[in-house]
Structure 1
Amino acid sequence: MQVSDVPEHLTTERLVICSDADAGLRAVIAIDDTTSGPGFGGVRMRSYPTVGSAIDEAQRLAAAMTVKNTLAGIPYGGAKSVIMTDGDPGDPGDRERLIRRFGQFVADLGGAYLPGVDMGTSPDDMQLMAEMGADTTCADEDPSPWTAAGVFHSIRSAVRHRSGTDSLEDVRVLVQGVGHVGASLAAQLAEAGALVDVSDVDAARAADVARAVGGAVVDPSGVLDHPCDVYSPCAVARVITRETLARLRCTIVAGGANDTLDDDACADDLAAAGILFVPDFVANSGGVRFVHVRRTGGGVDDIRTAVTAIGDLVTDLLESASRAGVTPVGAARARAQEILAQRRGGRARTLAQA
């Protein structure tokens, strides 16, 4: 690793580099903020051009998890980890050895980091990590359907805010990325009467989902140019940049992908273009809500109540943003910071009295 690979600003409370040449492991754990509790966030496995870019993404996503978990009202801070690969993970035995070794690194943190599934990882991976002593989430059940349900309620709230109706009948939604979250979202939208088009780098998968929901397949190269009411990115991060934003032909952006915007300034540009953006860290919080309910012994009805509440939170944030003349991202971040400031103040008073 070259010094030039490392981001200029290291912004998290704790940054852990995990490396084991024998296991083929290179990974980063970013614990952003533990004001509310241990850092909670998924394990992403993908290719990165440099170690610095992996560190940068881990920190950005961890910071978003802090805001997500705070607004969700759950007792966790924000964290994220990324496992760097060279593309195809290769032999299943090699992957298992890599995941187990990473689980040891997580266990060594003594509960400071609570991992879950993310892009490129699965409940089976969480189980392997748990066998190495790590306290993991999602080892027994995939949270993706609940993440999708949260996005569904976010879309419905955004449509209501924009048009005044609760109905999704004939609302055209483009779902970009139809993995576990996107495919479930597409099905829920179609069941509610929406017109659903889909796009995915896996053409066969896109065709299967499109067939199931009665929609069209959109070539990945033309996603941003596709006319729709709602654009719902559910795949990779940072799909909306200042360069790509002008191509959008939608009125609402609300999806399951993390870190959708290249930077927060894009939120201002979206607002100027008349496009309503639901902050991704709110829309996709169904998964973390599911995890918390399960860890506290709750059942399906409790999960459903917690996830449905995302729609109410979106409505509240959109109305607050409109009244204050700020973007929904600005309103959401301000609320999260206010909550964290109160908690830090309470913690400081407790320490002073000890």
Structure 2
Amino acid sequence: MATTVRTPDVAAALTATDDQPFRSEQLVLCRDDETGLRAAIAIDDTTLGPALGGVRYKRYADDRAGIVEAQRLAAAMTLKNAAAGLPYGGGKSVILENGAEPDRDALMAAFGRFVARLGGLYLPGVDMGTTTGDLATMGTAGATVSCASDDPSPWTALGVRASILAAVRHVDGREDLDGVRVLVQGAGHVGAALARHVAGDGATVLVADVDDARARALAAELGGEAVPADAVIGTRCDVYAPCAVARVISDETVDRLDCRIVAGAANDTLSDRAHADRLAARGIVYVPDFVANAGGVIHIHALRVGWDEPRLRAAVEAIGGRVSGILADADATEGTPLLAAEAVALARIADARERRRAGVPGEEAVGA
């Protein structure tokens, strides 16, 4: 059954582009000459609560590219947290890697001090290039961090599995994955866990990774097939599950995909939102990444409020129901799943703003 939502003007709400310096609610640039730290913290929106989002440690073509990525990913976190029903806004930070070999602990501690200055407005988590140990170091410097000990990866994978089950049910009307060919791109923590989940559900698993040996080892473990990293696009499968690099669906790849469903853990799967329309035109069902991969942020919320594991598991598996509603909405409105998912998130933010203006207490978080 389609989920009825009060739909705001989605197009107007998403007009910010990478070229607009004021797209974020707050942008903080950080410099510490003693450690060599150069970083950017982007706080996209705090309507629903403090900005939650990971810390990326990565080398960029130039400083501006890193700052723009922080802002773009922070906006995606706003959608992710809102669509998941969590009491957080969206944020993201980037520590610019410059090729030197810094004292890593000193670098992370310096960044933690900058985060602490924000007084809890930004809650950093693990992201590309950072570890739970790095977050723990930031915490010792005074930052309030979201995952300094527990790895959220298994919960991200569980949510993607629920998304795949929902998408297959939507497309084929079936409740299982027996014989469904699932191509998992990326055999890291999330991708490997997802591959094991869907193999347990009866899927035929294909695995690709830039580390070919790792892909072959996981495929052998699961009785699946290893696919060369450069052959992912164009490999025939039922479900394509990107779980590694971002923006894998681009002008160069969108028309070469040989799948029926795209549902994965990688952030920012589409290099341009127009690709959602192109996928739909080809009859490919796209599960928006910020819905599918929300298991990790739900896990973070569970840690913060003290949920037990059964409660956490139920909340993560509820992503499947959310996906079913979004896909039904897209069909009912003849729009794309991307627009339907954004409408859910933006309606929740709009409602929160109305309640705030009216002085009405906010809603409780999902599962609370």
> Normalising to structure 1: TM-score of the pair?
0.94
1:55 matched to 2:67: yes
Q: Deviations over 1:229-256 (max 9, x none)?
A: 1110011111111221011011100000
1:15 matched to 2:37: no
Q: Deviations over 1:32-51 (max 9, x none)?
A: 00000000011111111111
**Secondary structure at the counterpart of residue 135 of structure 2:** helix
Higher relative contact order (CA 8 A, sep 6+): 2
Deviation at 1:136, TM superposition (A): 0.5
**Secondary structure at the counterpart of residue 58 of structure 2:** strand
Give the counterpart of 1:200 among 209, 218, 230: 209
Give the counterpart of 1:320 among 306, 312, 329: 329
**Secondary structure at the counterpart of residue 177 of structure 2:** coil
Q: Deviations over 1:191-212 (max 9, x none)?
A: 1111111111122222222222
Q: Which amino acid aligns with 1:162?
A: V
1:143 matched to 2:147: no
**Secondary structure at the counterpart of residue 245 of structure 1:** coil
* C-alpha RMSD of the superposition: 1.4
> Normalising to structure 2: TM-score of the pair?
0.90
Q: Deviations over 1:94-151 (max 9, x none)?
A: 1111111111111111101001111111111111111011000111210100000000
Conserved? CA contact 2:155–2:295, under 8 Å: yes
Q: Which runs of 4+ in 1 moved over 2 A?
A: 6-10
Q: Matches of 1:127 and 1:137 in 2, distance apart?
A: 9
Choose 266-275 or 215-224, whichever is displaced more: 215-224
Q: Matches of 1:7 and 1:26 in 2, distance apart?
A: 21
Q: Matches of 1:8 and 1:343 in 2, distance apart?
A: 25
Q: Which amino acid aligns with 2:200?
A: E
Q: Which amino acid aligns with 2:26?
A: R
Q: Which amino acid aligns with 1:104?
A: R
Conserved? CA contact 1:60–1:259, under 8 Å: no
Q: Matches of 2:147 and 2:213 in 1, distance apart?
A: 27
Conserved? CA contact 2:327–2:337, under 8 Å: yes
Q: Which residue of 2 aligns with 1:72?
A: 84
Query: Number of residue pairs matched?
Result: 343
**Secondary structure at the counterpart of residue 173 of structure 1:** strand
Q: Matches of 1:256 and 1:21 in 2, distance apart?
A: 36
Q: Matches of 2:317 and 2:225 in 1, distance apart?
A: 28
Q: Which amino acid aligns with 2:24?
A: T
| Bigger proportion of residues as helix | 1
1:340 matched to 2:352: no
Q: Which amino acid aligns with 2:326?
A: L
Give the counterpart of 1:252 among 261, 269, 274: 261
Deviation at 1:223, TM superposition (A): 0.9
Q: Deviations over 1:44-69 (max 9, x none)?
A: 11111111111121111111111111
Deviation at 1:10, TM superposition (A): 3.0
1:219 matched to 2:228: yes
Give the counterpart of 1:189 among 195, 198, 219: 198
Conserved? CA contact 2:177–2:201, under 8 Å: yes
Deviation at 1:8, TM superposition (A): 4.1
Q: Matches of 1:332 and 1:154 in 2, distance apart?
A: 13
Deviation at 1:22, TM superposition (A): 2.5
Q: Which residue of 2 aligns with 1:108?
A: 117
Gaps of 5+ in 1: 1-5
Give the counterpart of 1:232 among 224, 241, 249: 241
Conserved? CA contact 1:7–1:52, under 8 Å: no
Q: Matches of 1:267 and 1:9 in 2, distance apart?
A: 25
Q: Matches of 2:61 and 2:70 in 1, distance apart?
A: 14
Q: Which amino acid aligns with 1:36?
A: L
Q: Matches of 1:203 and 1:137 in 2, distance apart?
A: 33
Gaps of 5+ in 2: 1-17, 361-368
Q: Which amino acid aligns with 1:44?
A: R
Q: Which residue of 2 aligns with 1:3?
A: none
Q: Which residue of 2 aligns with 1:163?
A: 172
Conserved? CA contact 2:212–2:229, under 8 Å: no
